[in-house]
Amino acid sequence: MPLNLKLKLLFTDRIGIVADVAALIAENSLNIISMEVERKDNRAEVWLEAENSEHTPVREDVFRMLGKIPDLREISFVRTLPHEERENRFRVVLDNISDGVISVDRDGNITIINRIARKILNCENSEVIGKEIKSLNLSDPTILECLNGKRFTNVKKNLINRKGRFQFFATGRPINDSSGRIMGAVEIGKDMKEIKMLAQSVSQPDFVTFSEFIGESPSVSEAISFAQKIAVTDSVVSIRGESGTGKELFAGAIHSESGREGAFVPVNCAALPESLLESELFGYVGGAFTGAGKQGKSGLFETASNGTVFLDEIGEMPPGPQAKMLRVIQERKVRRIGGTKEIPVNARIITATNRNLEQLVKKKQFREDLYYRINVLPIHIPPLRERGEDIPILAEHFLFQLGTRLGKDAQFLTKTALNKLCRHNWPGNVRELKNVIERAAILCDAEQIGADHILFSFEVGKSMEGMKNRIHPVGSDSHSLRALLDVYEKQIVTEALEKSDSIRKAAKFLGISHTTLMNKLKKHSVTMQKKAGFSS
């Protein structure tokens, strides 16, 4: 097959270029397939695709032929024309969106069908483009109704083909040309499965991913990339790090990354007394102990079926539950308290502690065998003071989060505020930073948050002193709001009277009526200091 000719011609702009090019091409028995003209300043770019059905034109002949056109400055062969590039780009975009898109011309012939639509309709691009949509034998080709001007939005549809069953929400629109005539129609289908997944991800409040675990320091990046690698395995993960370094958040992100469909179930081993911890973790059968309900209760390992159990502060776990945990990990089974039935456990276990487990083992406060079982994939999250470079991005992250929550305009930290943050030692780690930022954002009404608004916990007490004086004005020993307001009121009316030379003026100044002010003066037994010329 002869090859088509694709050319770019650059002219000094003038009238009649296109006519000249077209005439020459025709004279030389070439057929124009497409021609585009773009004018820039005083230049005109002509892009041309032409064919000769018998032979591929010889380059030199073409140059000689077109070289005759007046005002031609440059001529070159190209691989793709601008419209082809636009189409390619458009196709890549269309093929990479998660909705199915199909469009037809005014005769109902398919003009566009993207990757998802091809998948749903089980066909190849080349085989259907240009064909009538009717040939696809769709049970309800509603898109054709759009050619009569109909529109529909999110109509539930079912489609069954060799590849399976698809459920989607379809939206259809006519496509109009600039004068409003219908020149085709488009239908967009949203996969129901995807919508369900999205709905789930936004309705789960503690659905966190690694993109929300902020930090770019090498130690944090390393921890994240290690965690991403091992997320899909079933092995026990042990997260170590000081309090407030983000261990729980990190565990949640591992759970998300693992793709497990079950829940993320956190348990704080330090917060519950031994017997309650056991019944929470493993559940109990009806009547297992005094107070146990009749029907019994499932344990958290059952709740976290196909999910993750996060054992926080595992270093504080008492010996009884430690022994039971060892069994759960070794045998992957639990027995409810008082029960005999073995229930298989498929929950992933992630543990966390800020304690030195090795020392606890030495002191016989933590079982050595359990220590080895949980220490399969250890991850260390370093304290904030060892990764100062993360402070600015964390601060910015919390400010942004808070702005969204409080509905405030975006706030920024000044350089001095940031310097103050960076000089701090952060014994409470990221949790402390989050609190400091929250306090600053609330105290500061301006867009710029300065160093004065950055208060560490040891400074909060001092700055509250001033507040206390305001809340407890001199002359009050009561805490009731009414009593405090009365003290204020007395101060305010007295001051207003001192500043004005008549009660009328004082009332006006305070924005109240003369009578109201008179009543208040009586109530607080404020008497007028006689001034020269004073009148009421």
Under the rule (CB under 6 A), what is the footprint of ligand ADP? 213-215, 241, 243-249, 394, 397, 430-431, 434
Q: Which does 109 bind (CB under 5 to 8 A by kind): Mg ion, ligand ADP, none?
A: none
Q: Least distance from C-beta 258 to ligand ADP, angstroms?
A: 18
Q: Least distance from C-beta 246 to ligand ADP, angstroms?
A: 2
Cβ nearer to ligand ADP, comparing 394 with 496: 394
CA angle, residues 297, 300, 302, in degrees to nearest 5: 80
Q: CB count, 10 Å around CB of 47?
A: 19
Q: Which does 434 bind (CB under 5 to 8 A by kind): Mg ion, ligand ADP, none?
A: ligand ADP
Q: Least distance from C-beta 427 to Mg ion, angstroms?
A: 15
Cβ nearer to Mg ion, comparing 191 with 248: 248
Cβ nearer to ligand ADP, comparing 191 with 313: 313
Cβ nearer to ligand ADP, comparing 183 with 442: 442
Q: Which does 249 bind (CB under 5 to 8 A by kind): ligand ADP, Mg ion, none?
A: ligand ADP
State which of residues 187, 242, 248, 280 lies at the interface with Mg ion (CB under 5 A): 248
Q: Least distance from C-beta 276 to ligand ADP, angstroms?
A: 21
Encoded tokens for 82: 């601008």
Q: Least distance from C-beta 242 to Mg ion, angstroms?
A: 10
Q: CB count, 10 Å around CB of 507?
A: 21
- What are the start-end ranges of the H helices in 341-425? 357-362, 368-374, 391-406, 415-423
Q: Which does 245 bind (CB under 5 to 8 A by kind): Mg ion, ligand ADP, none?
A: ligand ADP
Q: What is the DSSP letter of 23?
A: H
Kind of pairing between the strands at 283-284 and 164-176? unpaired
Q: Least distance from C-beta 394 to Mg ion, angstroms?
A: 17
Cβ nearer to ligand ADP, comparing 174 with 252: 252
Give, for 492, the enclosing helix (H) or strand (E): helix 481-499
Q: Which does 401 bind (CB under 5 to 8 A by kind): Mg ion, ligand ADP, none?
A: none
Angle formed by the axes of helices 429-443 and 457-471, nearest 10°: 30
Q: Least distance from C-beta 360 to ligand ADP, angstroms?
A: 18
CB distance 347 to 306 below 8 Å = yes
**Distance from C-alpha of 310 to C-alpha of 38, rounded to nearest angstrom:** 63
Q: Least distance from C-beta 430 to ligand ADP, angstroms?
A: 4
Q: What is the DSSP letter of 365?
A: S
Cβ nearer to ligand ADP, comparing 251 with 503: 251
Cβ nearer to ligand ADP, comparing 66 with 394: 394
CB distance 235 to 377 below 8 Å = yes
Q: Which does 285 bind (CB under 5 to 8 A by kind): Mg ion, ligand ADP, none?
A: none
Of 321, 324, 315, 328, nearest to 365 by C-alpha is 315
Cβ nearer to Mg ion, comparing 297 with 355: 355
Q: Least distance from C-beta 521 to Mg ion, angstroms?
A: 58
Q: Which does 24 bind (CB under 5 to 8 A by kind): Mg ion, ligand ADP, none?
A: none
Q: Least distance from C-beta 425 to ligand ADP, angstroms?
A: 17
Cβ nearer to ligand ADP, comparing 9 with 253: 253
Q: Which does 281 bind (CB under 5 to 8 A by kind): Mg ion, ligand ADP, none?
A: none
CB distance 156 to 167 below 8 Å = yes
Cβ nearer to ligand ADP, comparing 297 with 431: 431
SS3 content of the chain, % helix, strand, coil (to 5): 45, 20, 35
Q: Which range of residues in 156-164, 243-251, 374-382, 417-425 is near Mg ion by CB under 5 A?
A: 243-251
Q: What is the DSSP letter of 249?
A: H
Give, for 113, the enclosing helix (H) or strand (E): strand 110-113
Question: Which phi and psi (to 5°) does residue 44 adopt?
Answer: -130, 130
**If you search the block for the tokens 């500043």, which residue do you land on?**
499
User: Given CA atoms 205, 207, 211, 213 in this order, what sign does their dihedral have?
Assistant: positive
Cβ nearer to Mg ion, comparing 62 with 430: 430
In the bound state, the residue with its beta carbon closest to Mg ion is 248
Q: What is the 3-state secondary structure (H, E, C) of 266-313?
A: EEECCCCCHHHHHHHHHEECCCCCCCCCCCCEECHHHHCCCCEEEEEC
Encoded tokens for 518: 């008179």
Of 85, 81, 90, 89, nearest to 36 by C-alpha is 81
Regarding 280 and contact with Mg ion (CB under 5 A), the answer is: no
How many of the chain's residues bind Mg ion (CB under 5 A)? 1
Q: Least distance from C-beta 312 to Mg ion, angstroms?
A: 5
CB distance 167 to 157 below 8 Å = yes
In the bound state, the residue with its beta carbon closest to ligand ADP is 246
Binding site for Mg ion (CB under 5 A): 248
